[in-house]
Structure 1
Amino acid sequence: MGRGDLTNAEWVRLEPHLPSCGLRGGRWSDHRQVVNGILFRVRTGIPWRDLPERYGSWKTVYERHRLWSADGTWDRILRAIQVDTDLAGRFDWSMVGVDSTTCRAHQHAAGARKTTPRSPEGRTTPRNHRPDEGLGRSRGGLTCKIHLAGEGGCRPLALLVTPGQSGDAPPFTEVLDRIRVARPGGGHPRTRPDHVSGDKAYSSRRNRSHLRRRQIRHTIPEPKDQRANRKRRGSKGGRPTGFDRDLCKRRNEVERTINRLKHHRAVATRNDKRAYVLHGAITTAAIRLWLRE
């Protein structure tokens, strides 16, 4: 077993959730060897062609990662491991934090398909990356943004990749809607945490209304400009937002979750052209965090 490879205890938890056959009914080559190769690349961020020989053909490792990223296999594995953890009583629903982090895109990740919009006068504007590729320009150049919901144990629950110049508040509801932990006994999956925390970037009337409709308590500080505008409007501005400083201190849990994810260099720096392959790499890193509990 090489450094960073799956331990026997981690493999016992992961193996039951892996696909048993390929696209045409044939059997896969050794799952453990290939998964260790994928984890090695996600942890180190090296080019796929530079994978050590002990993991077999680099193309086999890459193609399996790309396929499982495209068909949602990594997402299903993550949800299955979350179910196992919830069943064992090691799931912290008391506080779910939402936050985002920006990842600089390597020059090799800038080759995804672009669009060339035209103005009403027929003039072409500079080529922009497709929004669904999660790549955009901000002050740091080409970047992408990872929006994340993490539970109290500093483990990722749900994630979303958007272009780097996008704001934090608009994807807030979509990230929360991606939380789905099935119940082993049947019934609807659990999608509603006990409490949600976020920083000032998530303070908006839309987000607070969404949380109230779902009857989710929340701790989100109100910026000074929003507070002043609410007071200026008087009774039409609505009631003051509730805020608990002690609960707000737990916001560090989601920040620590992001730090643990970005220990994986393929997450800290985007090297993949396609957004779904990057999403698969982040999900793979999240699975490793759940296996290491």
Structure 2
Amino acid sequence: MRRRCKGGTPRQGRGRSRGGFSTKIHLPTNGEGLPVAVEIAPGPTSDYTGAVPLLDADGPEPRGVIADRGYDADHLRETMHARSITPVTPSRRNRRVQIVIDGHIYALRNRIERYINNETCVRLA
């Protein structure tokens, strides 16, 4: 018996994984942690595919980008340096030359996590 291929609904921003449907939220914020733009992508897609459209979003030009390891790509770093944006992204483990970042600045990334958790709680209540 032949198994069916897994399907997904990428037009709706959902992707199928072992756990079911999932999405990724790319949410750039300003210095106070308030959202500037939002991009919703299917869960199985790579993180850095949603980063460049957010850099081109309307609003003020960012001076820095604080992101997790999923956004560590050479082409993203080159794009940010060309636009005078400072990337604060830890290196992936398989990178030959690890890039050193400021841990105090990277710790500010939790503002986005707190914003998403707060909004989720407000919507559920």
| TM-score interval, normalised by the smaller of the two chains | 0.7 to 0.9
The answer to whether residue 123 in structure 2 is matched with residue 254 in structure 1 is: no
More helix by share: 1
CA distance in 2, matches of 1:170, 1:127: 21
Question: Matched residues in 1 for 2:45 and 2:6: separation?
Answer: 18
Partner of 2:33: 154
What's the CA shift for 1:242? 4.5
Normalised by the length of structure 1, the TM-score is: 0.38
* 2:7 counterpart (128, 144, 149): 128
Seen in structure 2, the aligned counterparts of structure 1 residues 264 and 143 have a Cα distance that, compared at 3 Å, is farther
Distance 1:147 1:203 in 2: 14
What fraction of aligned residue pairs are identical, expressed as a percent? 30
1:76-124 per-position Cα deviation (integer Å, ceiling 9, x unaligned): xxxxxxxxxxxxxxxxxxxxxxxxxxxxxxxxxxxxxxxxxxxxxxxxx
For normalisation by structure 2, the TM-score amounts to 0.83
Distance 1:244 1:222 in 2: 12
The answer to which of 249-258 and 207-216 deviates more is 249-258
Q: How far is 1:140 from its partner?
A: 1.8
The one of 91, 104, 116 aligned to 1:222: 91
Gaps of 5+ in 1: 1-124, 182-189, 231-239, 267-293
For the aligned residue pairs, the C-alpha RMSD in angstroms reads: 2.0
Listed as ranges, the gaps of 5+ residues in structure 2 are none
Counting matched residue pairs gives 121
Kept in 2, the 8 Å contact 1:197–1:219? The answer is yes
Q: Does 1:196 align with 2:65?
A: yes
Question: 1:16-44 deviations in whole A, cap 9, x for unaligned?
Answer: xxxxxxxxxxxxxxxxxxxxxxxxxxxxx
The DSSP-based 3-state class of the residue aligned with 1:165 is coil
Deviation at 1:217, TM superposition (A): 1.1
- Larger-gyration structure (1/2): 1
